[in-house]
Structure formats: structure tokens, C-alpha cells
A and B are shown apart, each in its own frame.
Chain A
Amino acid sequence: MELKAVGTAGTLESSDVMITLEPRDSGGIDLTLESSVLNQYGRQIKAEVLASLERLGVKNAKVIVNDHGALDCTIKARVECAFYRGCGCDMDGRFDWGGVIR
């Protein structure tokens, strides 16, 4: 599974986070984070996003995170959704729940 196009998921509502993943050929992960709770949780949000990307096998991408106080479970959900949207293939019946999605 490979990120082929820009994938976006989430909203700008309270308790949610909007994630945009943009593929690139090299340069690793370039993460931009905006958050209403940046001072308290910035580091944790970043770590959560990076861990999800690693599980999904994303090595090079531009990542924009616009957070409005999302819980860890929401952050993971939005990263995964943005990734599969960016992959653009039909995954029904094949999503790896409990594997790379966890």
C-alpha cells in the first residue's frame, strides 16, 4: 500500500483533527502542526501521528496537522483514513484491523 495522491481526513470541529498527507519522493516526513493545545500536547500529538505513519509504512510525505483538541484515538483514525484515501484503492474486505491499524 502506497501513498499516491493527497489524502485528507477529519474536520476543524472541536475534539477533531484534520490531517493532510502529501506524497513526495524523498526527504522523510515533514510535519507541520497547528493545535489549540499546542503547548500542553504538541509533542504527544506529533509522536502519535509519526507512530501511525510508521505503522502504515509512510516514509516520505508532507504532513499537515490541524488539531482542535482531538484524543489519541481520533488522531490515529484520521491519519489512517487520510492515508487510505491517498492510496486510492478499494480496500473493502482487506483492511488490516488490529495490524497496521491499531
Chain B
Amino acid sequence: MSIPRPKPERFRLRRTMMFMNAQKPGLIKDAYIYGADSIMLDLEDAVAENQKDSARFSLYHALKEIDYGNTEVIVRINGLDTPHWKEDIRVCVAGGCDGIRIAKTESAHDVQVVDEAVTEAEKEFGVEVGRTLLMAALESPKGVLNAVEICQASPRLFGVALSGGDYRKCMQVKVIPGGIEMLFARGFMLNAARAAGIQCFDTVFTNLNDDEGFRAEVKQNVEMGFDGKSLINPKQIQIVHEMLAPTQKEIAEAEKIVRAFREHASEGVGVFTLDNGKMIDIAFVPGAERVIKLAKASGIYEGDL
């Protein structure tokens, strides 16, 4: 029995990407009901060294037999400095996951090595070459500083994510409310991702009892321009979706921009002013369209665009 998953979409909505231990059957069988945009089945840190073999069998059958619906299924593979990553890639591709998260990415070369192994596996298992997407996790100062080349390393790459635990350890800092210790990494990675036209995801927030701290961090993520966030617990999903949802005022404005632009464009006019005096040209359109897409995903859009 196998669930034929649709071809993965490189630039889909990924507000919430939740980690789940690929080794725990109780977790992965229900993974899709929580409503995260993406789940990340973990073969890396969540799996003990002596269970790396076992996790792959669980992963393979979960990928083949559990219907994840619209939830994107990403697999985090073991680092390139381990003996496990090559077989991890074979099982990911054979099982038909949507994408692979590369742990501890430090250079464009790391991404290319994985890209080549994925291509080889796609040919071996009769999967369309190019189907399997990639994302790179930056977990060290070297990875962050090489973000520019990493973000441009492969046409399979849909985004980069920061991994705060290892990064903070390297930088000899602890978690600070307000995130001053992560300011450079977040800002630099965002710039690198945008320059390459790919998505950018923030690190996990690990203190599950600190609701206020979590909300403050998500608010900052939104303000800085992240596409989404890695999560470790289902209770964080709804909070992120709510905080990323546009307001009714923002939706109305976005609708106005998209409609007005379409009307003016058909009359051959590229720049015009809205009734509130705001100048609009084509640069505003992608942002407005993104607002409407977010509103639809959040279930609060009632218009007809």
C-alpha cells in the first residue's frame, strides 16, 4: 500500500514546521492532526545512536502508509560528519518524503553533496529527478557566515532555518529575552535568503512553560520578516498561526491594492495613488498577494480574490 503524495511545491506556505521523533510510532501516526503546515520527522538528535537503524524502518513505513494529507512531510537527516546520512537519504527518497532538512550546514558544498546523493537515490528508486526538496539548517557561526553561498547552492533548496541550540553554544551565549544574542544571525540569514529568493525560518523556542516569551519571540519573527518557525510542541502551532494571520484592515488594504493594480494595468497604467494617498506600483503587489494567501490559510478570508 502506498499513498501517492502530490509533487512537493517549492514555495508553499510554511508558517509552522514541527519536529517529531521518527522513531516513536505513537507520535508519527497522529502527526498530521495537529495542523502544522509542515512536520519534520527527525532521524537526527531525537534518535539515540543505537536506534538510528530502527528509526529508518519506522520512517519508511510511515511515509508509505500514513496519509498526511496537506501537511508537508520533511525529514531531518543526520549530519554529513556521521556515517548515517547516505542511507538516510536513500530511505527518504524511496519513501517519497517532500523534502530533506540538512543538519549543521556549513557551506554550499554541503548542500551540493546532499543534492547529488538525492539525485542518485531518485534515479535508483524511480522517483522523478528534482522532486525531493531541500532545506538547510544553519547551526554554527561558520554556517551563518556562509549563508549567502548556502542559499544559492541548489535549485531544490526552498529555505534556510536557524538552529539556535548549537549556534548559541558556539557563540558562548545563553537565551536572552529580546534575542540580542541572535540578532546578527537572524538578520544576516534573512538577508541571504531574500537575496536568493528562498524562505527563512527561525529556531525553536524550548521553554514550553513560558507562553509570554514564546509570543514575544514570534512577534519579533514576524516583524523581522521570517516565513515561519521550527516548533517542538503542538501547542505552539495555533499561536504562530494566529500571530501570523493578517488583520482585517491589512486584508482590506491588500485587496484594494491587488484590484486597483489589475484595473490600472489593463489600462496601461503602472503607478497610481489609492484613495488614502498611498502611491502604489508593482512592488506592492507581491506583498498584498501574500497577505491574501495568509488570510486564506488562516481561514479568515471572505473575499473572492
Contacts and interface: CB of A to CB of B under 8 A. Distances in A.
B192 to A, nearest CB: 33
A2 to B, nearest CB: 17
B24 to A, nearest CB: 8
Interface string B43-79: 0000000000110111011101110000000000000
A72 B65 contact: yes
Interface residues of B, number: 24
Interface stretch (B8-16, B85-93, B222-230): B85-93
Given A73-B62, A97-B95, A9 B26 contact: no
B64 A73 contact: yes
B89 to A, nearest CB: 10
Contact of A14 (B26, B65, B87): B26
A29 to B, nearest CB: 20
Nearest to B63: A73
B57 A81 contact: yes
A89 to B, nearest CB: 12
B87 to A, nearest CB: 5
B26 A97 contact: no
A48 to B, nearest CB: 11
A77 interface: yes
Chain B CB within 10 A, most for which of A10, A70, A101: A101
A74 interface: yes
B53 A81 contact: yes
Contacts of A14: 26
B287 interface: no
B57 A80 contact: yes
A84 B95 CA distance: 19
B285 interface: no
Report the interface size class on chain A.
20 to 34
B87 A74 contact: no
Interface in A69-83: 70-74, 76-78, 80-81
A101 B125 CA distance: 13
B25 interface: yes
Nearest to A96: B94
Contacts of A92: 83-84, 86-87
Given A15-B25, A78-B57, A73 B91 contact: no
A93 to B, nearest CB: 6
Contacts of B90: 93, 95, 97
Nearest to A101: B60
A85 B50 CA distance: 11
Contacts of B109: none
A74 B53 contact: no
A45 to B, nearest CB: 14
Interface of A: 9-10, 13-16, 70-74, 76-78, 80-81, 84-85, 91-93, 95, 97-98, 101-102
20 contacts: A9-B54, A9-B57, A10-B54, A14-B26, A15-B25, A15-B29, A72-B65, A73-B25, A73-B29, A73-B66, A74-B29, A78-B54, A78-B57, A84-B53, A91-B87, A95-B91, A97-B125, A98-B125, A101-B60, A102-B64
Interface of B: 24-26, 29, 53-54, 56-58, 60-62, 64-66, 83-84, 86-87, 90-91, 94-95, 125
Given A74-B29, A76-B61, A98-B94, 9 more contacts: A13-B26, A15-B29, A73-B66, A74-B61, A92-B87, A93-B90, A95-B87, A97-B90, A98-B125
